[in-house]
Chains A and B, each alone.
Chain A
Amino acid sequence: MNTGTHIEHNTPAVELINLHKSFTPLTGKGGKVRAVDGVDLTIDSGEIVALLGPNGAGKTTALDMILGFTSPTSGTCLVYGGSPRHAVQHGRVSAVLQTGALLDDLTVRETLAMIATQHSHHMPIDQALDRAGATSFADRKVSKCSGGEQQRLRFALALLPEPDLLILDEPTAGMDVNARRDFWAAMHAEAERGRTIVFATHYLEEADQFADRIVVMGAGRILADGTTEEIRALGGLRTVSVRWNSDDGDAATALAEIPGAESVRGEGERTVFTGPDTDAIAHHLLTHTKSSDLLIVQVPLEEAFVGLTHQAQQSAA
C-alpha cells in the first residue's frame, strides 16, 4: 500500500464532489429518481473501500460514474485527477462487472486475447489467467463455465491492463462459499500489490473481512463512513433483547435511564433496546433491572440500513 501512495504523489484515486445523478423512470409517473443524491467521497491510493448498502442505494450508479459508463447530472467525478474516460484509456482503472459481459462462443483464453487487442499495454494473458485462478479452464468455452468460473474470467479481464484502481460491483454474487473464499484470497494478493480496491456489496461480513474502510450508502447518500469498527459501533447495528419484568415499570419510561440506549420496542414476549453502546445497555439491564434471558443480537443488515437511513433523516431535519 505504501507503494501506491508513492506512485500517485498523493493524487486521490477517486474524488467525488457533490455528485448527483438522476434518471427519468420509464414508467413515466412521478418525477426523477435521484439515484445518487449529493455524494462527497475521497478515496486515496492504496485504500480498500467497501461500498455497503441495500439494493437501490446508489452504489452501482456511483461506480458507473467512476468508470465513465454514465456521466453525472451535476457535480464532479475525478479518477486520478482526470476524467474517468481518461483513466480508462490509460489502463489505470478497471472493473469486475456484475453480470453478462461475456460472449458465449469464445473460450476463456480467447475472450482475454480479444479484449487484450484493445489495451495499449497489458500483462501476458497467461499471467492474468494465473492470477485470477482461471488457468485450469482456460480453453473451456464461456457457455460451459460455471458462474464462479465466469466471474474469475471477469476478474482476469479486469487485471489485464494492470490497473491501479480496481472496481468490483458485487463481485461474489452467485458464488458459493468456496468460490467466494478463493476470490477474496486472490483479491488480497492484488491489494498487497498496491492496487486500490473499491467494491460494492450488501454483505456486512464481506465488507468487514476485506475492507479497511466502509462507506455506507442509502437512498443515494453516504450515511456513514469509517473504519470497520466505527461502522459496527453505529447505533442500530446491534440490539439488546431481554424478557422485561413488569416490576421495573414500563420499558419505554425506563429507556431514559438506560445509558447508551436510544429506542425500545416490543417483539412478542421480548423487549428490544437499540443504541450505540450495547455493552452499556446490557450492563445496566443486568445490574439495575430484573430483566432476564438477555441476548445481544447483530441486526440483519437490511434492518440496520433502515435504522441508519432513519438516523440520517433525523440529523438532516
Chain B
Amino acid sequence: MTTGTATDRTERPTTADSAGPNALMGILKYAAYDFRRQLRMVESLFFIIVLPAALFVMFGSITAYGDLPAGHGTVSGSIATSMAVYGAVVATTNIAGSAAVERSKGWGRLLALTPMAQWQYVAAKVLVALAIAVLPVIVVFTVAALTGAELGPWNIWLSAGALAVLCSTMFALYGLFFGLMFRSEAAVGAASGLLVVLGFFGNLFTPLSGTMLEIAKFTPLYGVHGLATWPQMEGEIMSTMGEPMDPDTLGMLITSVVVWTVIFGLLALLAARRGTKRA
C-alpha cells in the first residue's frame, strides 16, 4: 500500500533536524561517496599522484646530487617534500574549484532539497580535499623511501607530510576563486595548470637564485614550500651555485602563508558575491 508509506511519516519520530549525530553521519556518508567519485576521475588523479611521483624520480632520485646532504636528510628528500606539496596543492585546487562549479550548475539546488545544510556540504568537501591531498604525500614519500631519499628521523617525515597537507588547504581558496569566478571545469583546469608556474616560482622544481629568488619569495607557493620543508631544512635554501644563501626565517614563511591565505580568501569572497548577484 503506497498510501501507507505516506501515513507512516506522521507517525515516525522526526529525526531529520540537521544537528546532532545525524549531521556528522551525513557528512561522513556524503564525503565517502564523493571521495570514491574523485578517485574514479583518472585524469585529475594523474596530475595529483602520478606526475609528482614521476617528477620526483626525474629530479630527485636518479640525479647525481640527490644523495648530497641537505639539512637533516638528503637533497632528494627535500625534493620529495617539494613534489608532495605540488601534488597536494593540485588536489585541493581541483576539489575546491570543481565543488564551486558543481554548485553553480545546480547540484547545490538538489542538495538544498535534502536535510543537508550548507556547512555540512563544505565540511564534507574539506574532508574529501584533505583525504585526496594525503595521497600524493603518501605515494611520493613511499617512492622516496624506496629509492633511498632521506628527510631525517621518522618524525621529520611525518611532520613534513602533515605540513604539506595542512598548508595545501590554502589553495582550496585559490581553486574556489577560479571555480566561482568562471564557473567551468576548464577554468579549474587552467588554475591547476597555473600551479606549475607558481611551483617554479615557489622554488619547488629547481633551486632559484639571485633576482629570481627575490621575486619568488613573494609568490604564494614559496611559503608553503618553505614550511613543509622546514622540519628537514629549517629554512636553509638549496643552491646550485655552491655559495651559501641567507636562510628563510620561520616568521617570514608563516607571514607568506597567512598573507596569501587572506588574499585568496578575499578573492574567493569577491567571486562568491559576484556569483550570487548573477543567480
Contacts and interface: CB of A to CB of B under 8 A. Distances in A.
- The answer to whether A binds B is yes
B16 A194 contact: no
B24 interface: no
A13 to B, nearest CB: 12
Given A3-B3, A162-B9, A118 B114 contact: yes
- Give the interface size bracket for A toward B: 35 or more
Given A106-B37, A119-B114, A193-B2, A7 B7 contact: yes
Interface stretch (A29-37, A84-92, A223-231, A237-245): A84-92
B89 to A, nearest CB: 23
B96 to A, nearest CB: 16
Contacts of B2: 193-194
B14 interface: yes
Contacts of B112: 67-69, 88
Contact of B10 (A7, A26, A161, A194): A7
Chain A, interface SS category: loop
Of A90, A99, A113, A193, chain B has the most CB atoms within 10 Å of the CB of A90
B106 A67 contact: no
A67 B15 CA distance: 20
Interface in B87-102: 102
B278 A26 contact: yes
B6 A162 contact: yes
Contacts of A164: 6, 9
Contact of B30 (A92, A105, A118, A193): A118
Contact of B14 (A90, A113, A115, A158): A90
Interface in B44-60: none
Contact of A91 (B9, B111, B277): B9
B110 A115 contact: yes
Contacts of A193: 2-3, 6
Contact of B115 (A100, A106, A120, A194): A120
B105 interface: yes
B6 A102 contact: no
B132 to A, nearest CB: 15
Given A88-B114, A158-B113, A194-B2, 18 more contacts: A26-B277, A67-B112, A89-B17, A89-B115, A90-B16, A94-B113, A100-B105, A101-B106, A102-B110, A103-B107, A105-B41, A110-B33, A115-B110, A118-B29, A118-B115, A157-B110, A157-B113, A162-B9
Nearest 6 pairs of A and B residues by beta carbon? A100-B106, A101-B106, A118-B114, A117-B29, A120-B16, A118-B116
Interface of A: 3-4, 7, 26, 67-69, 88-92, 94-95, 97, 99-103, 105-106, 110, 113-115, 117-121, 123, 157-158, 161-162, 164, 193-195
